[in-house]
Structure 1
Amino acid sequence: MAYTGDVRVGGPPDVHELTHLVITKIAVGPMENNAYLLRCRATGEQLLVDAAAEAPRLLELVGGDGLVGVVTTHRHADHWGALAEVVEATGAPTHAGRHDADGIPVPTRVLVDDGDRIAFGRCELTARHLVGHTPGSIALVYDDPEGHPHLLTGDCLFPGGVGNTHGDPDAFASLLGDVESKLFAQLPDETWVYPGHGADTTLGAERPALSAWRERGW
């Protein structure tokens, strides 16, 4: 079956099979977070993005091949609830944005800045630092050499808008500005977006609404 990205807590994962990379999306509770297991086809090396909750389910997904790293997209607790248990079980190095690492209780081994690259096997992600939802949120870009880019956005971009900035107009302006300049301005409409909660989207589906988001202020 074709990948849709429609997953539910307690339900099966969905698998997006690319030429060089396999992206497996799973929803975990209690906050209906998405976690993503990325596997390099050439080497089998795996990277987990957001060990959010339900460590046993995440570890079952990882299987016997283990992890070469776990990336936490930002400091909010619903995105690292299973991190300690996953790291203890796998020994995987931890990665997080430099300006959010002090808010994550599991020590961060690799501090990530804007433009940094995270490699696993023959695949590579590029980090984009987006300020506003938190000080150190990162999005991760996989620039597929055989197709369009794929973008994991944490809680910075969803279908219908940017992430929650809790009514702070400066934080909203910062987040929308970063999303526009570092994502929409640099990536094509075909870019597939994998958010931290809920359904997937594409940049092309969201681009026409950017001015409306700015006008409404959230």
Structure 2
Amino acid sequence: MTQTLFFGAFLAALLYVLIPGPAFLALLGIGAGQGRKAGALFMGGHLAGDILWSTLALVAIVGAKTIGSTIFDILGLLCGVYLAWIGWTALRAKPRGENQPLMSVERPYRRGLIFGLTNPKGYPVALATFTALLAGSSNALDFHALPALLAVSFLGFLAADIILIGIIGASVVRRFYRRHELAIVRLSGVLFMGFAVQAIWHAAPGLLGMRKP
């Protein structure tokens, strides 16, 4: 196992949490309206979903690699297309209504737990993100590496949670987000498009028979 592989897993987990999406926006609403403690409880519950979906994604990626590189390349291509679709959707996002009331959640931990485990985009986004960032180290992927990858991913989730908990609830963050919400969403779309290009870039040579043995 290489440092590149571990760094890719850590970065994938970090960005999986940090890139704006449904959970990010829910956290921002809770943190802005109820403070950092409520936001931390929400993220603590949501961590269960992060672990579940990333585990399933890594098992799928490692399994695909074990079966054969062609399946891995197809998986990478499909994930790249999916990421491109998410990115394009974000780039086309339209402004929301101004001064929308912030949500109030009585049990933020339970809300985060349910949100994380039932998020329909959790698995495909995790699969696409991890595939995009691990594709360059696909030769080092096997089931023996899986426990270490999960451990590094867990550290990535914790780092991302700490970062988000550290910034939510601040008045400057609320004002900045409300003022630049559309730009933030579209920037996330650009990031997804970048991941899409990377995933397709790694998959295309194998599918076209151009990858060196």
**Greater C-alpha Rg:** 2
Could you say which structure has the higher strand fraction? Answer: 1
Could you say which structure has the higher helix fraction? Answer: 2
TM-score (norm 2): 0.27
